Amino acid sequence: MAKKLPDSVQRDVVNIDDTVFKKLIFSVLKAKKDSVQLEKDDDVALSKREKNVDIDIKLNVMYGKNILTVVHDIQREIKNSIEEYTCYKATSINIEVKNIINITKEEEPKNVEKKKTKRSNN
Domain count along the chain: 1
> Is the confidence at residue 3, as pLDDT, over 80?
no
Name residue 120's amino acid: S
Question: Which amino acid is located at 67 in the chain?
Answer: I
Look at residue 109 and tell me if it is in a domain: no
- Does the residue 39 lie in any domain? yes
Distances (CA, A) of 54 to 17, 39, 60, 65: 14, 20, 20, 26
What is the tens place of the pLDDT at every residue in 20-74? 999 999 999 999 999 999 999 899 999 999 899 999 999 999 999 999 999 999 9
How do 52-62 and 89-101 pair as beta strands? parallel
Number of H helices, E strands in the chain: 2, 4
Q: What is the pTM of this model?
A: 0.72
**Do the domain assignments include residue 119?**
no
Please answer whether residues 36 and 60 qualify as being in contact, where contact means their C-beta atoms are separated by less than 8 angstroms. Answer: yes
Q: Which of 69, 63, 59, 64 is nearest to 29 (CA)?
A: 59
Residue 8's pLDDT is: 46
Q: Collapse the DSSP code of 31 into the 3-class scheme (helix H, G, I; strand E, B; otherwise coil) and give the result.
A: helix
The answer to whether residue 93 is domain-embedded is yes
pLDDT for the residue 9: 43
| Residue 40 forms part of a structural domain | yes
Domain presence at residue 116? no
Identify whether 122 is part of a domain: no
DSSP E strand stretches across 1-122: 36-37, 44-49, 52-62, 89-101
Residue 73 maps to a domain = yes
Which domain, by its residues, includes 60? 18-101
Q: What is the CATH number of the domain that holds 55?
A: 3.30.70
> Does the pLDDT value for residue 119 go beyond 50?
yes
